[in-house]
Amino acid sequence: MNAREIAGLVHGRPAGQGRYQGKCPAHEDRNPSLSIMEGKGGRVLLKCHAGCGLGDILETLGLKVADINGGEGNRPSRQRIMQIETTYDYRDGTGKLLFQVVRYIPKGFRQRRPDGAGGWIWNLNGVPRVLFHLPEVLASDIVLIAEGEKDALTLQESAKYLAAKDGRSYAATTNPRGAGKWHDEYSQSLKGKLRAYIFSDNDSPGRAHAKNIFDSIAPYVKAIGLVDLPGLKPKGDVSDWLQKHSPEELWQVVQSTPLGKPSRREEPSPPRNGGHADHMQAAVQDERPKVRLPGDNWLVPNRCRAGPIPRR
Ligand SMILES: [Zn+2]
């Protein structure tokens, strides 16, 4: 992208030859603090006079360093070829719109918040971060946690079937910004839930993300399942899986997912076996009959047993 295009993202104005001035997206900017200049070789120079780092500015704009480093030849700029595919609303518990995640074609994401006058501010400064579909999450008995909004929406469709099956209310959710971006403050929204099921992408960031969520929500949720979708291809996600499987099959998988709580040892031991379930202690059951526990590595031998967690 060139300086003019970057300036367009922050509603900047021309400020001389090859120079623009706009509001910095990375802080609550009342003055136009961001200088945007054409550099050598098509590079764009950005400087926030309030001191924001280049990385923060680029991240808020949904850009990478490569986007402002000047390309070889006349390749079309990212801005010209990016189109909004869809937007995802994030609301507070009362249903008030807090912010949106904007999904682009080709795949990319930015975040914005209402400016109160029908427009948008392209940062989330001062905005509480919340779970996707928070009002529905708060009202539900059981929560399905996906990796990304698209998967959450796919799961929400199937959740209607699950709810009809067992007479409980279900909500599907995710956290903004994808894998690795779960915050403990999200977990408090799950306080008192009967169960939570975590659906991760079939890759190592996805599995690490699932484990983080598990540990973070454990104090709040009565029982948690890490869902293992049978036959899910590498890097696949629950949307891929549901293209080839019915809601009834999802119901069967959810039913057979072991429910657990992390052990309450004083010092957590490092993960073993490379799995994300190896720190789990006994399966904790809620009102449902005991489930079968598949797999040899699900419970750690000599450390876990089926049944209630013993008191210490
Ligand atoms: Zn700034």
Whether residue 304 lies inside any domain: the answer is: no
Do 103 and 207 lie in a common domain? no
CA 108 / ligand 1 centre spacing (Å): 22
Hey, what are 228's tokens?
């293992």
- Shared domain for 98 and 161, answered yes or no, is no
- Domain for residue 308, yes or no? no
Q: How remote is the CA of residue 235 from the centroid of ligand 1, in Å?
A: 36
Q: How close is the Cα of 102 to the center of ligand 1, in Å? A: 22
Residue 195 sits in a domain whose CATH number is: 3.40.1360.10
Interval between CA 21 and ligand 1 midpoint (Å) = 12
Instruction: Say how many Å lie between the CA of residue 41 and the centre of ligand 1.
Output: 25
Q: Does residue 252 share a domain with residue 138? A: yes
- The CB-based long-range contact list for 31-37 (8 Å cut-off, 24+ gap) reads 34/10, 36/3, 36/6, 36/7, 36/10, 36/12, 37/3
Residues 239, 259: Cα–Cα separation, whole Å: 22
**Distance, CA 47 to ligand 1 centroid (Å)?**
8
**Are residues 47 and 99 located together in one domain of the fold?**
no
296 domain-assigned: no
**Pair (62, 108) in one structural domain:** no
Q: How many domains does the chain have?
A: 3
Distance 33 CA to ligand 1 centre (A): 7
Q: What is the pLDDT of residue 262?
A: 54
Tokens of 123: 């940062």
* Spatial distance between the Cα atoms of 173 and 70, rounded to a whole number of angstroms: 38
Tell me, yes or no, whether 112 and 172 share the same domain: no
5 backbone dihedrals φ, ψ, rounded to 5°? -70, -40
Same domain, 184 and 196: yes
Q: Does residue 306 belong to any structural domain of this protein?
A: no
Mean pLDDT by 10 residues, the chain (312 residues): 89 92 87 92 91 87 84 48 85 97 85 88 90 98 97 95 95 94 95 96 95 96 96 96 96 95 48 43 40 40 44 48
What is the Å distance from ligand 1's center to 23 Cα? 8
Domain membership of residue 300 (yes or no) is no
Q: Do 58 and 142 share a domain, yes or no?
A: no
| Rounded distance from Cα 84 to ligand 1 centre (Å) | 25
In terms of domains, do 230 and 271 share one? yes
Give a yes or no: residue 298 inside a domain. no
In the reported structure, the alpha carbon of residue 122 is separated from the centroid of ligand 1 by a whole-number distance in angstroms of 13
The answer on 262 and 200 residing in a single domain is yes
27 alpha carbon – ligand 1 mean position (Å): 5
Strands 108-114 and 97-105: what pairing?
antiparallel
Are 263 and 149 found together in one domain? yes
Task: Please state whether the predicted TM-score (pTM) of the whole model is above 0.85.
Answer: no
Ligand 1 centre distance from Cα of residue 113 (Å): 17
pLDDT at 70: 77
Q: Are residues 70 and 86 in the same domain?
A: no
**56 is in which domain, residue-wise?**
3-78
